[in-house]
Amino acid sequence: PHSGARTMLPLLLLLLAAAHGLDDLPALKAPVLANSSLGGQITTSTFVLEQPRCVFKNVPEDTVIWLVVADPSAVPDFNNSVEPGGPGREFQQFLNGSFAYMTLNTTILNYPCPKNPGDITVLRVGSETSCATDKARPTCNGPLPGPGPYQVKFLALNGSKPVAQTAWSEPITLKKAQPSGSISVLGSGHSAGMIALTSILSILFAILLAGLLAMLIWGLDASSGSSTFSKPEAVTVRRYNTHHAYDQPAARL
């Protein structure tokens, strides 16, 4: 029974190691999106991550850091040992046969630690459009095919051996564009100013028309009313009246 337990223990450890994806690398700090003050932090086919500065310590100088982009369904069974761009890891087949791909490879020397304060140290995922359909470039950093969500992590490879990894990021969902035809252009109704202007002008015009009507009806009736005033020449008529009676008819023109 004791010898059985002794062989069981290594077997148990082996099974645990297999359950963890064949390599027992500790999970370092997960990748995060760049500062939200960047207008292009998330677009409909790209997103921007912070560079993994001061995350990979104690790795050899010729280590290459890769970015792994995966569909959340591929995260639990992700195998770190599959070659970047290998079968099941082609960018061009992403979400169409491959459910993860690796890209943005660079040596650890490009992520110096500590970073200069004030430097913008970001990685734009999805910026390479030239190789998006080029099957000869399976590690292309091409635009993402849909709004996601996606999960990413950094993987440090020395040759082809994984030496360090970060934890998986939170799921990143990209923007989804609504159709422009759905924008409603119906106005919010008429403003108060316009209503006031229309009503006041209409009332004034109505009063003027009424005045014109009154003027024509009464004015034509009372053309010889006693309250009418005489024309300016009539002032001289009065003077003529007192001196020359025969000038009166001529003055009435």
Partner 1 sequence: MARSDDGIRILQGLLVFGNVVIGMCGIALTAECIFFVSNPHGLYPLLEATGNDDIYAAAWIGIFVGFALLALSILGIVAVIKSNRTLLLVYIILMLITYAFEMASCITAATQRDFLTPNLFLKQMLERYNKSEAVNNNDKRMTEGVTKTWDKLMLQSQCCGVQGPTDWQDYTSAFRTTHSDADYPWPRNCCVMNAQGSPINLDGCKLGVPGYYNSNGCYDAISGPMNTHAWGVAWFGFAILCWTFFVLLGTMFYWSRVEY
Q: What residues line the site for partner 1 (CB under 8 A)?
A: 37-41, 43-46, 48, 120, 122, 124, 126-129, 142-143, 175, 177-181, 183-185, 187-191, 193-194, 197-198, 200-202, 204-205, 207-209, 211-212, 214-215, 218-219, 222-224, 227-232, 235
In the complex, least distance from residue 173 CB atom to partner 1, rounded to whole angstroms: 13
Residues 44, 176: contact at Cβ < 8 Å? yes
The nearer residue to partner 1, 68 or 174, going by C-beta atoms, is 174
User: Alpha-carbon distance 174 to 179, whole Å?
Assistant: 16
The nearer residue to partner 1, 58 or 184, going by C-beta atoms, is 184
Q: How far apart are the first and last CA of the chain?
A: 146
In the complex, least distance from residue 129 CB atom to partner 1, rounded to whole angstroms: 5
What number of other Cβ atoms are within 10 A of residue 42's Cβ? 19
In the complex, least distance from residue 47 CB atom to partner 1, rounded to whole angstroms: 11
In the complex, least distance from residue 133 CB atom to partner 1, rounded to whole angstroms: 12
In the complex, least distance from residue 135 CB atom to partner 1, rounded to whole angstroms: 19
**For residue 76, how far is the Cα from the chain centroid?**
31
Burial class (CB in 10 A: 0-12, 13-18, 19+), 167: middle
In the complex, least distance from residue 43 CB atom to partner 1, rounded to whole angstroms: 5
Residue whose pair of structure tokens reads 């998986």 in the numeric block: 168
How does DSSP classify residue 143? P
The nearer residue to partner 1, 17 or 201, going by C-beta atoms, is 201
User: Alpha-carbon distance 104 to 96, whole Å?
Assistant: 21
How does DSSP classify residue 14? H
Strand partners for 157: 64, 162
Q: Which of 100, 86, 110, 82 is nearest to 153 (CA)?
A: 100
Q: Which two tokens stand for residue 244?
A: 């020359």
H/E element holding 250? helix 248-251
**For residue 131, how far is the Cα from the chain centroid?**
25
